[in-house]
A and B are shown apart, each in its own frame.
Chain A
Amino acid sequence: MKLFKILAIWCFILCATAGTKSVQAQAKPNAAADQTNVEMADTLRQDGKIYVVVAVLVTVLGGILIYLVSLDRKVSKLEKQLKDEYVNR
C-alpha cells in the first residue's frame, strides 16, 4: 500500500510539472504567423531540448527510488515473518 501511495505522489508531481510546462508554453505569444510559427507540440524541443534531459533524469531517479521502496518493503515483510515465527514457537 505504501508503495502505491508513494507512486501516486510521484505521478502527481510529474503531471503537475508537465501541466505548468504546457501552461507556460501556451502563455508565450506567437510573434508572426509564418510557416516556422505554426503551433506544434514543441515543448520538449524548446530551450536546447533540456526538458528531455529532465525527463531522463527524473525517470532514472524514479526507477532507483521505486527499487529502494520495493527493497524496503521486502525487508519489512521478512522482519514481520521472523517476528511471527518467534511468536509461534
Chain B
Amino acid sequence: MTSFHGPATFAPNAATELQLLPLRFERLGANRFLVANFVGDLLLLNEEELDRTVSLAIAPGDGLYERAFEKLLVTRKKQRSQLQLLALRLRSRMSFLREPTPLHLFVVTLRCEHSCPYCQVSRRSAERDRFDMSEELALRAVNVALSAPTPRIKIEFQGGEPLLNFELVRKIVGAVHERAPARNKAVEFVIASNLALLSDEVLAFCQKNDILLSTSLDGPADLHNRNRPRPGGNSHELAVAGIRRAQKVLGRSRVGALMTTTEASLTRVEEIVDEYLRLDLDGIFLRPLSPYGFAIKTKQFERYDGAEWLAFYKRGLRYIIEVNKRGRYFPEFYAALLLKRMLSDRPIGYVDLRSPAGIGLGALVYNYDGKVFASDEGRMLAEMGDRTFELGDLRKDDYRSLVLSDKLVGLIGNTLSQCAPQCSSCAYEPHCGAEPVYHHATQGDAVGIKPLSEFCARQKGVLQLLFEILDSGGEDSAVLRRWASG
C-alpha cells in the first residue's frame, strides 16, 4: 500500500500561488468588518483577519484560509473553478437583462377622488377630457408593451384612480387578449386602486380576467383617513370593505396593499402591522415617502429624515418577526426582496432596485397624454415640470425608439452602481441598485453624492440590519430565511 500524504502536501504556497479575488468591505464597528465577495456573499472579519486576507497571509488549517476560500475571496492562480463560480453566479444575478421591460404602467386617468397630501402624482379632480387617456393612445401603448422582448409582461393600471376610467381598462384588457397570443406573450394585469369605487362589475371583470388588485392601506382608520382624505372622510372604511370583498371574490392572494409612512405613522408601526394582520393580508411593505409630486409641494417629504424612517422600519421589522415566530407567515416585502438577493442569485423582478437601472429596461410608463416615461417617478417629475425621464410620445415612437433612445441609454449607462463613485466600493452594492430618478430629483444629478443620499442611508441601514439578524442565527434568522425562499 502506498503511504498517504499529509495536509501540507495539498496546501498552496501563499507567496507564489494565491491570488486575491475582488472584495469590498464596510466597517460595522471598532473591530468588525463586513466583507463581501464579488457577488455579495457576506462575511464578518475583524481588522487583523481582514488585513491577513488582503495580504494573503493565510494558510489551510488557520481557519481564515478556509473561510476566505469558501466565500470566494481568494483563489489559486491556476484554478479555474473559483472564477467560473463567480462568473456563473454573476450571470444568474444579472439575467433579468435577458428579459427587457417586464412592467408596463398605463396611466389611464390622472383624476382621483382622493386628495392625499403625500400623493406622488399631481392628482386632478375635474376635466374628464383633459386628464383621461384616449382609446387611440391606449391601443398604441398596448402595441408598444407587446413589443417588449420578454415573454412575460405585467400591465399595471395606474392613476389617478384608474377605476374612474374603468371603460378604458376594459378596452385595454380586451385588446391585449386579442393581440398577445400572436406575439407569444403571457400577460398579467394589476389594477392599482384605492378601492373606493370597487363595484361588483369591476370585481366580476377582475375575476374573469385574473386581474390582481393592489391598494393603499396606511394603518388604522384615524391614521389612514388623515393621510388619505376624500369627500366623506371614509377612505379607510371603503378600502377595508374593498379588501374584504376582493378577498372573498378573487381570493386572498389576489389583493395586496401598500402603506406609505408619514410623519404621523412614525410612532405607530405596531398598529399599522396589526391592521394588516386583522385584514388577513399576506404581508406588508413598509415604504418611505418619495420625493415627488404632491409630497414635495405639500412639504410632506421634509417632515422626517432617513434616520427617523430607519428607526421606524427597525421597530416594525422586529415586531413583524415576532408575529412570524408565533406561527403566522407574514413577510415584510422589502426585506424579503433584499433577502432574496442576499441569500440567492435568483434575479429579482423588482424593477426599482437594479443596476443597470430599471428605467425603461425594467418598466415603461404610458401617461394619459401619450407621453412615455422611463419610470413612474419619472412621470411624477414631469408633472412638476422636469422632463428628464420623458422618453417619447406614443403618437410617433415604438418600443425600439423608446428603449434605444440616446437619452435612456445615457441615463442608464451613466448610473451603473457597479462603477458609480462610492457604490463601486460598497459592500452592499450587489444587493442594491442604481436610483437615477431619485438622485436626479433630490440632488439634480442622476448619480448623486451617496453620503448625502437618504436612499443610500436607508439601503445601508436596512441591509446591515438584515445581515445582523441573519448572522445572529436562531429563530429570527430562520424567519428571514423563510421569507427569502418564499
A-B complex is real: no
The residues of B with any CB-CB pair to A shorter than 8 Å are: none
